[in-house]
A and B are shown apart, each in its own frame.
Chain A
Amino acid sequence: MNHDKELDASGLACPLPIVKTKKALGAMTPGQVLRVVATDPGSVADMAAFAEQTGNPLLAQSTQDKKFVFFLKKA
């Protein structure tokens, strides 16, 4: 999936992936897509809740080589 910005949160434990994602989205313009890579298993539930709660749609998510990849669209 095409994206405008990438955030590597590999190896970071909660709450850092969400904190970094929030900050990264804050610097983007509406409609842009952020790709986030994380390894914390808790990030799967966290990112879904973050997308729902903040209104930034979670376009897709997948698991690649024990890494969780998320695509979030800036609302």
Chain B
Amino acid sequence: MNFRAIFLALVIGTALVVSAFLINSRRPRVVVEQPSASFVTASGKCAECHRNNQYSIVHEYEMSKHAAKGVTCLDCHQVAQGQTGTNHNGFVINFGVTPANCKTCHAAIYEQFVRSRHAAPSWVAVAGNQDFSPEMIEQMEKLHPGSMKRPPHPLTKLEGGPAAQSGCIACHSIGRPNADGTIGNCTFCHTRHTSSVAVARLPSTCGQCHLGPDHSQLEIYTESKHGIMFAAQQNLMNLNAPSDTLTTKDMFVPTCATCHMSGINGRGVTHDPSERLSYNLFAEVTQPRPNAERAQAKMKDICLQCHTPSLVNRVYTEGAAVVDATNEKVLAAKAIMDSLKAEGLISTNAFSQPVQLTYFDLWHYYGRTAKHAAFMGGADYVQWHGNYPMLQHMVELKAQAAELRKDNAK
């Protein structure tokens, strides 16, 4: 036997094996400790093609908390209950991720979302309730009176399919039912592949839909002290803080999510933005919500994380006064419309006469704006984008009513 030769051969061979073990041990545990080989392979294999074809989605995923925690492409794209799988380059996947996929890990969050106006009521507003079961309609109607037992908004038909598709539906599909039985899409707020809580906490994320004359929340927020401070200090905040440990140290300036959803300082996160709302400010004539007292207490509790009780109570008192005043103005306008209807001067076709548009603008744009601004610290929107246009439209409404009666008398 040639001991030296054998020894040398074994040293070389062993050194190679040890180097392989060492290199393999450097791979992150979250990447390799998966339930099956497919899950280990998935993200790397997907990236192999998609990095060239759609670089952003791979890059965004790699920056995400999901990636850091070992959630692979296949975790979210696997075929959930009610979904149909597709063979895709060696994997069976579901292309369109829905809450059916998200709720496999985030079930409680999905349950909160389903109870919210973001879910079914949002879709019913543009598409009607035929897509939902009678049980769902009854259940949601109790939570959000008037939101489920209603026809599609007449504007969707009047303005036509393309306008509705690219306009109304683009926002209201946050509550669209999916073929797998779930509702909506979490990526509306958390964005695809980033799956980011930081993105969801940005005012601009809510503002992708909550802006414009019908609900000017983004503009109101931007005008408010909250918005001004956010613009100035955003880079000092920790928008990525986990929702279960989020504190006012992380977000010492509130965004929409802080007040309406976040579990700041242990207050308990919710994905039902209605949970802390005491008035239905969106309505023609605002009423307290079914859970008004409890909701207001919850919201005040959030306010108190930064403000004194006296300030919080003053805001609520002044806001309630604006609600009452706006209701009076809207009711006065409504009385004119009702009398015109009684006189047979209003067409049964919605949005077919100038007076109908004037009244709609009065409450739907300016009434809403004034009420929202009163609670959100947007003085200019209470006055110049709210009450003044309401006054202007009231004058116009009276003139149009007089004109209609005059024409009718001829």
Q: Do A and B come from one complex?
A: no
Which residues of A line the B interface, CB within 8 A? Answer: none
Which residues of B line the A interface, CB within 8 A? Answer: none
